[in-house]
Amino acid sequence: IRDLRLGEFDVLVGVNLLREGLDIPEVSLVAILDADKEGFLRSERSLIQTSGRAARNVGGKVIMYADKITRSIQACLDETRRRRIIQARYNEENNITPETIKKSISNILGSIYEADYMTVPVDAKGRAIPAREEDLPAFIKNLTAEMKQAAKNLEFEKAASLRDEIKELNKILLEMG
């Protein structure tokens, strides 16, 4: 991200990189692949949020690649059109000429580290352990299903490892409740 901001390269390809609220004013084009695949990452809210990454740049554009216009795409188009009209009216009334926001490189690096830092407990295999007590039983249930599948596939070491992990998590659950 820093090298993009410094002009070291012109294109940054990332999966969900632009959804995470990073403020990168140099972004002038956002391409959303499979925009018509309805779901969490292509919901109205996500499309608006992702499109907004290009809004900090005067020449910012968004291209949504899709075979059809879904309800989410149409809602995103309608909402951005509505916001654009309001902003243009405000700019005209207040004699404002839009300009691309300029931020120092240190500001963007600070915001990345502040916004994205979160400690997530993980199990022995690196899987995230639910932080909330009420999510732990479902996590244990999934591990149990995985353990049974491993045993069925004659992967006994994996099954034994999962069994031990389930025991530890059940112990934690008992201590919590």
Specify the pLDDT at position 11: 80
**pLDDT means over runs of 10, the chain (177 residues):** 76 64 75 86 86 84 94 94 92 88 59 49 64 79 92 90 87 74
Specify the pLDDT at position 5: 74
Specify the pLDDT at position 3: 77
Specify the pLDDT at position 114: 47
Q: Is residue 168 a contact partner of residue 139, using CB atoms and an 8 Å limit?
A: no
CA distance 9 to 5: 8
Q: Show Cβ contacts of residue 163 under 8 Å, excluding neighbours closer than 6 positions.
A: 147
CA distance 92 to 72: 30
* 10, burial (CB in 10 Å: exposed 0-12, middle 13-18, buried 19+): exposed
Second CATH level (architecture) for the domain 2-116: 3-Layer(aba) Sandwich (3.40)
CA distance 169 to 149: 19
**130-131-134-136 Cα dihedral, nearest 10 degrees:** 30
Q: Is residue 175 a contact partner of residue 134, using CB atoms and an 8 Å limit?
A: no
Q: Show Cβ contacts of residue 75 under 8 Å, excluding neighbours closer than 6 positions.
A: 44, 47
